[in-house]
Structure 1
Amino acid sequence: MNPTRASSASRWLLTGLLAIGALTIAVPMYFTFVTALKTPSEMRGNLWALPKHWMWSNFTDAIQMTNFFQALGNSLIVTVLSIVFVIVTNSMVGYAIARNLHKRLYKGIFVYFLTALFIPFPIVMLPLVKEMAFLHLDNLAGLVILYVVYNLSFNVLLYVGYLSTVPTAFEEAAMLDGAGPFKTFWKVIFPLLGPVNATVAILTGLWVWNDFLLPLVLLSDQSSFTLPLVQNVFQGQFTTQYNLAFSSYLLALTPMLIIYLVLQRWIIGGVMRGAIK
């Protein structure tokens, strides 16, 4: 087969796959947008049709019903704190294990963390919630702690894999200059973890921002509810206010979309550098 013709066919196939992938995002987004701007009576008609009366007030109603700005503040606090503490603590644990993996104790700890990846959260959910309530941590602080701990297993795997490619010569030189383990880590190793830190921050941020189950079972005070949790207000016993619910979904989506558009250069660059490394 002609190489030029094969290359052209591959490009067309790739273009078709990308178009299909784009449609899987564009079609639900269109449906969400038009639904968010309809009146309740229009919801009984053609769901794909454009609204006859553009109800921008649906967004105002959704903000009032969900106490949107308070929930937004809670989500931002939990997400930012979780990302910071996850990177700081998980990177130190990963470094300690990676540099001592030849020792039986640290290898056992590493295997122990890996086994936690295979334990579904619902199995430990109720005992964990009761324990957090007993410790008076059934609040936003407790939520952050659980996100830090629950991310540890997967992130240790990432950090250990990445640190295995970082030469130990940097640390040996720092120790010869009189630096201790903590100073060596923060001054020498941590700056080299930029790509994997970016990957961990992205994965953690997306999970924490969108998580519904953990806040649902842990938080009892409505003033502490996060954005995914307040979406339940539109679900009644017999009916669901879909137009207001979809308006609220768009509002909850907007902050992460803005963050991505502003930081996409650094997000994509960090992930690509981590993959290449």
Structure 2
Amino acid sequence: MGSHRRFVNMPAMVVAFVGACVILFPMYMAVVVSFKNPQELAQSVLAWPSLPVWSNYPTAMRVTHYFHSLWNSFAITSTSVVLTVLLHSMAGYALARNMHKRFFRYLYYYFFAAMFVPFPILMLPLVRQMSHLGLADRAGLIILYVVYGISQNVFLYVGYLKSIPIELEEAALVDGASRFRIFWTIMFPLMGPMNATVAILTALWAWNDFLLPLVMLSNPNWYTLPLVQYAFQSQYSTNYSLAFASYILALLPMVLFYLICQRWIVSNVTKGAIR
């Protein structure tokens, strides 16, 4: 049994090791390049610098207006996450508890079908429509994040709510509670694992998104971190040390966020499966 177990686990360990190398090697190269000067970079790309150039990071922060674009990304992402969790949880609850009605059942199928529509097909019509409405700015970007994520999130909420006994709501109705009170005092706390999962996935998507802010934000003062990196790359395409320092600065907030929230999303998905 022991030899069979080692035989089964060895391929998984090899795949995990190769996958870790594929992920860590570009990270190592980016960190190494960010600490080099142009002369040392011309000699070797992979070797660790003999004397790290720490000034690359302050220079990259100053040139890219790092804290201003960081605040733009934080404001857009946090607002999108809050609105997504509140609105999509209510929509998922309404659909999950009324699937026996034809209208809600067809509406659920409509949301489900929208998951298979590629975003590039909808991008230009959506941007044109938001421009006509005068919302080609950060507010319009937040609205698009909330609207475009509703299909997947409603699908997740409906599947999760089906595992919660409806008897809890029936008991609250007998006690005289309204539907609105039942949702906020009973159901919304019970949806905590799914709320956390949706919030984390939405935060990762909105923070790292490049295409939608590119077509929506015309004012450079509204640029998020990915857009600033794009503009910075075109300006400093030959100064790789400064460019890679800027990339590390843009990547650092999401790396920290993922490291902090990793155990939460894994445990929440597990709880959702157990329920």
TM-score by length of 2: 0.94
Cα separation, partners in 2 of 1:78 and 1:239, compared to 1, 3 Å: closer
* Equivalent residue in structure 2 for 1:273, among 252, 271, 274: 271
Structure-to-structure mapping, 1:184-203, within 5 angstroms:
184-203=182-201
* Equivalent residue in structure 1 for 2:14, among 13, 16, 41: 16
Looking at structure 2, the residues matched to 17 and 171 of structure 1 have their Cα atoms a distance apart, in angstroms, of 47
Alignment partner, residue 225 of structure 1? 223
| Larger mean Cα displacement after TM superposition, 253-262 or 32-41 | 253-262
* Equivalent residue in structure 1 for 2:169, among 168, 171, 176: 171
Cα distance, 1:238 vs. partner?
A: 9.6
Alignment partner, residue 82 of structure 1? 80
Unaligned residue ranges in structure 1 (runs of 5+): none
Counterpart of 1:101 in 2: which secondary structure? Answer: coil
Looking at structure 2, the residues matched to 89 and 194 of structure 1 have their Cα atoms a distance apart, in angstroms, of 14
- Superposed CA offset, 1:204-263 (max 9, x none): 111011000000000011111111110013333894432222111111122222233444
Alignment partner, residue 64 of structure 2? 66
Cα separation, partners in 2 of 1:266 and 1:118, compared to 1, 3 Å: closer
8 Å Cα contact 2:237-2:243 kept in structure 1: no
Aligned residues: 275
Cα separation, partners in 2 of 1:37 and 1:183, compared to 1, 3 Å: same
Cα distance, 1:163 vs. partner?
A: 0.8
**Amino acid paired to 1:78:** I
Alignment partner, residue 49 of structure 2? 51
Looking at structure 1, the residues matched to 26 and 273 of structure 2 have their Cα atoms a distance apart, in angstroms, of 30
**Amino acid paired to 1:230:** V
Looking at structure 2, the residues matched to 31 and 68 of structure 1 have their Cα atoms a distance apart, in angstroms, of 22
Cα distance, 1:268 vs. partner?
A: 3.1
Structure-to-structure mapping, 1:1-277, within 5 angstroms:
3-236=1-234, 239-277=237-275
Counterpart of 1:235 in 2: which secondary structure? Answer: helix
RMSD (Å), alpha carbons: 1.7
Cα distance, 1:56 vs. partner?
A: 1.1
Q: Percent identity?
A: 50
8 Å Cα contact 1:42-1:51 kept in structure 2: yes
Cα distance, 1:40 vs. partner?
A: 2.3
Cα separation, partners in 2 of 1:238 and 1:163, compared to 1, 3 Å: closer
| Larger mean Cα displacement after TM superposition, 43-52 or 259-268 | 259-268
Cα separation, partners in 2 of 1:210 and 1:172, compared to 1, 3 Å: same
8 Å Cα contact 1:87-1:197 kept in structure 2: yes
Counterpart of 2:87 in 1: which secondary structure? Answer: helix
Looking at structure 2, the residues matched to 252 and 56 of structure 1 have their Cα atoms a distance apart, in angstroms, of 16
